[in-house]
């Protein structure tokens, strides 16, 4: 997986987005300009619950445990190509188009050239689609935060780097007045906190960068998200609080 990401990294920095075209293998760099109101309006058209329920909310242990190329790559690759957010169905279809193929009896398997395991499996589309969609809203929150932050605070350089996100645990990086900060975004649940603690102690070394936790809380009195249709994003007070931590 690491080699694939190194060869297909996606970066957003200084008003530009760069990526490697999956088919031509050419590096493409273009202005990263997305209207935040357009994103909010598109979110309102998504029927996420219906799409997720159409796959039966399945949790197949075989597909849940199987190591595969990361969903984050597909989400940000769609962003890079289209300068737009994918719908739930577009997100699922893009992953299947890139990395999966049909097997016998209308089942699916992974394309051998993109395997990161020494074994392959055959699975129902619904099992993988449901797993993909469980990750979907975290990407929506992250990209909405990124776009909103870029548009709101012009004196701060905020950076997304897929490789750093996946392998260093820094979802977003911020540069301000010769200081560098990292952001870790996650949901305020016991499971998320346990997973974050595990990453802090076992997987990532944050000693070289000051980290800011951006935690989505869906419950009163500490709720800090706002809703666009069925998609929850951080509210403007959260952006302002993060900005204050950076410039103080």
Write the pLDDT tens digit of every residue in 86-108: 999 999 999 999 999 999 888 99
- Enumerate the domain spans of the chain: 2-139, 153-247
Query: With 80 as the cut, is the pLDDT of residue 54 above it?
Result: yes
Cβ within 8 Å of residue 125, ≥6 positions away:
55, 96, 108
Is residue 181 within 8 A of residue 152, CB to CB? The reply is: no
d(CA 183, CA 82): 25
The DSSP line for 194-236 is HHHHHIIIII---TTSEEEEEEE--STTS--EEEETTEEEE-H
d(CA 212, CA 245): 8
- Provide the pLDDT for residue 196: 47
What's the mean per-residue pLDDT of the chain?
A: 92
Which pLDDT tens digit goes with each residue over 218-246? 999 999 999 999 999 999 999 999 999 99
């Amino acid at each position: 997986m690491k080699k694939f990401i190194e060869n297909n990294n996606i970066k957003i920095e200084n008003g530009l987005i760069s990526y490697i075209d999956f088919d031509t293998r050419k590096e493409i760099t273009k202005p990263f300009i997305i209207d935040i109101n357009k994103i909010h309006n598109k979110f309102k058209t998504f029927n996420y619950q219906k799409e997720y329920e159409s796959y039966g909310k399945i949790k197949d242990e075989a597909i849940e445990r199987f190591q595969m190329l990361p969903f984050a790559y597909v989400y940000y690759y769609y962003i890079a190509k289209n300068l737009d957010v994918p719908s739930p169905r577009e997100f699922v279809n893009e992953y299947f188009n890139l990395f999966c193929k049909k097997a016998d009896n209308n089942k699916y398997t992974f394309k051998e050239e993109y395997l990161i395991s020494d074994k392959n499996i055959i699975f129902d589309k619904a099992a993988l689609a449901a797993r993909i969609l469980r990750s979907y809203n975290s990407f929506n929150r992250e990209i909405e935060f990124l776009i909103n932050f870029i548009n709101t605070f012009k004196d701060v350089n905020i950076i997304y780097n897929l490789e750093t996100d996946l392998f260093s645990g820094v979802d977003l990086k911020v540069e301000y007045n010769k200081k560098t900060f990292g952001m870790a975004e996650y949901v305020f649940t016991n499971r998320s906190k346990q997973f974050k603690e595990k990453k802090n102690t076992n997987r990532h070394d944050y000693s070289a960068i000051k980290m800011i936790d951006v935690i989505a809380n869906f419950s009163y009195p500490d709720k800090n998200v706002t809703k666009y249709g069925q998609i929850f994003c951080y509210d403007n007070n959260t952006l302002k609080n993060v900005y204050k931590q950076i410039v103080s």
